[in-house]
Structure 1
Amino acid sequence: MPLRANYATMYVGAQLAPETRKLDLDWADDVGDETAALEFEVPTAEATDGYVGIQAFDVGEYGHEILINGDPMSGFDIPPNEGWQYWVDTFGDAVSLSEGHNSVRIVRDEETTDAFAVGTVTVHWKEPVGD
């Protein structure tokens, strides 16, 4: 069965930080330790090969998570990097997409004092052609 690529891009514009350590960013809303659930639609029950691309700023620690439909992706989701980065991580077997409403959420590791920001998140998948 032939497949085509599809995706959903969401602007986050959020700073994840503990109360005691904030970044001076005028474009990012302070959301504390996690973003709101960002919702997107998947038009098929046969979504495969999912992955997330995340635009992140000033990540200082490992351990932050990306949740897809409430489930954490496996491995490290957002690696440390000074300044801007665009990181891509595959779903693996840890999470899956459903037909209809889906969500993505970014969660800061509360065991750290790390403060970082997220610009956009794009969720990618493959789906059958003509579905």
Structure 2
Amino acid sequence: MAKVSFVDETTAGAREPAWALEIFEERLTLRELVRRRIFQEVAEYNASRSGPFRGLVQPTRTERALNGDRESAPPRRVDPDRQVALAEEAFARNGFVVLVGDRQVDDLDQVVDLGRDTEVTFLKLVPLVGG
């Protein structure tokens, strides 16, 4: 069994605290690893529904401005399948990169080896101003 730590970082230097998930397989595709991460964070959010959802995929600042302030609205149930689809789209358009240990994984169907204390970093790319 592997204990996988998930870390979210941005190219601007922000780093969220790591959280862990126990995974019984020693090898998984990146797609399955992302799916399990998302299903776990959605399940935790849907159970508590406290505050805004802080998952892997977040609306952009522009989307939040166009859709209004949702944080004051009552929390809605988050659909994990929709979140997985959004994450796969974001990965395909280079919205984030994934590092397993110190190695970048650039294909969702690539199989990754999971050891006892594997760290998986989701590096969210911050668009350049004016670019």
TM-score (norm 1): 0.28
- Structure 1 or 2: more strand by fraction: 1
- Structure 1 or 2: more helix by fraction: 2
